[in-house]
Structure 1
Amino acid sequence: MAIEFNTTESTKIKDLKVITPSAFEETRGSIWTSYTTGEVGTLLPKDLFFKHDKFSVSKKNVLRGIHGDHKSWKLVSCVSGSILQVVVDMREDSDTFLQWESFDLGGDNRQMILIPPGLGNAFYVKSDLATYHYKLAYDGDYADADEQFTVKWNDPRINIEWPTTDPILSERDRRL
């Protein structure tokens, strides 16, 4: 079984990458690799590497985000359930500022999204339960919630087409 990744550039947002690993399918199910330093690791800037992983388990109709910072690279995927992944360009100097792109992740879709610094990250849970995986790379210490930017999930400047008008939000996201 060869470990291969198909990496494509977003057609909407500069520097955003979509990574699809190859999978070995057989009667028991399937198996695939989500990360190697020689393939996915080379997509990061020189001298930067993934430092830690996080998982988020969320119920149906939960919307998390739009959050981000200006130093973290995030490799995200949905390892169980299904979500609508949304990425928003929040880099004011970018020619794709305030543009967004969405991806259906989870289920039989093994795609991963590599999100560079300055892009907002959000997802909406479509299944009864979903497990979301973040792999994080950054210089220095982790930029936790108090150091991150937060954008209102339904900001009219962005006009994201969410599958609901009444999502379950965190206190942080409701305060906006």
Structure 2
Amino acid sequence: MSFEFIPTRLPEVLLIKPRIFGDNRGFFLESWQRDKFAVGGITLPMVQDNLSESTQGTLRGLHYQIQQAQGKLVQVLAGEVYDVAIDIRRHSPTFGQWVAERLSWENKHMLWVPPGFAHGFYVLSSTALFTYKCTDFYAPQYERSILWNDPDLAIPWPLVNGNPPALSRKDEAGLPLGQAEVYP
């Protein structure tokens, strides 16, 4: 098979390892194939691709859309990030729990973050090119942000030299999970 789908501590969040075909000229891998992802349990249609570039120390997240919830298939095309998904479905047995994975150009791993989860990443390398496929369209009027350093979540962000992350105004204004609008 071209992909290995590995459940994380939060079973709906999947670490995906593509099969890499390489030789002295370089490598080839499939990064998406609808039928193979369906076998791995990812059946939602993808409707939008996004690409961002960020410098070291940038933290983007923890984002979600309260309506038009997006599932995201995330991948790093250059550099390395610490990628986090948080279950924010109030009636889920894993509500408020999170999982983190290091995604990089070197390991070529992907992470499936299903609808109902907040998502964010922190850039470890000098820069990172980050791409993600989404299951619904971006709708800024529904976008929400959970505070990256919510003490109740206690995410151990691997901050470079212990410095505070570079945040957008939106992310600085994120709410702690206990005050945030979440899914039923």
Q: For residue 60 of structure 2, what is the aligned residue in structure 1?
A: 64
Checking the alignment, whether the CA contact within 8 Å between 1:86 and 1:121 is kept in structure 2 is yes
Q: Percent of aligned positions with the same letter in both sequences?
A: 30
Q: Tell me, which stretches of 5 or more residues in structure 1 are unaligned?
A: none
What per-residue deviation string (whole Å, max 9, x for no partner) do you get for residues 63-122 of structure 1? 000001352111001111111111111111111111111111113111111111111101
The match for 2:171 is 173
Where does residue 50 of structure 2 map in the other structure? 54
Please say if 1:121 is aligned against 2:119.
Answer: yes
For 1:51, give the aligned amino acid.
V
Q: Which has the higher strand share?
A: 1
* Alpha-carbon separation, structure 1, partners of 2:105 and 2:51: 17
Residue 82 (structure 2) aligned to one of 68, 81, 84:
84
More helix by share: 2
CA contact (8 A) 1:41 1:49 kept: no
- 2:141 aligned counterpart, secondary structure: helix
Q: Would you say how many aligned residue pairs link Structure 1 and Structure 2? A: 168
1:122-163 C-alpha deviation (Å, 9 max, x unpaired): 10001111000110113xxx2423202210000111110011
Return the alpha-carbon distance in structure 2 between the equivalents of residues 135 and 81 of structure 1. 18
Residues of 2 paired with 1:97 and 1:128: CA distance?
A: 33
Aligned Cα root-mean-square deviation (Å) = 1.5
Contact 1:35 1:41 in 2 (8 A): no
Unpaired segments of 5 or more residues in structure 2? 175-184
Q: Distance in 1 between matches of 2:93 and 2:14?
A: 17
**Is 2:134 aligned against 1:131?**
no
* Distance (Å, rounded) in 1 between the aligned partners of 2:134 and 2:38: 11
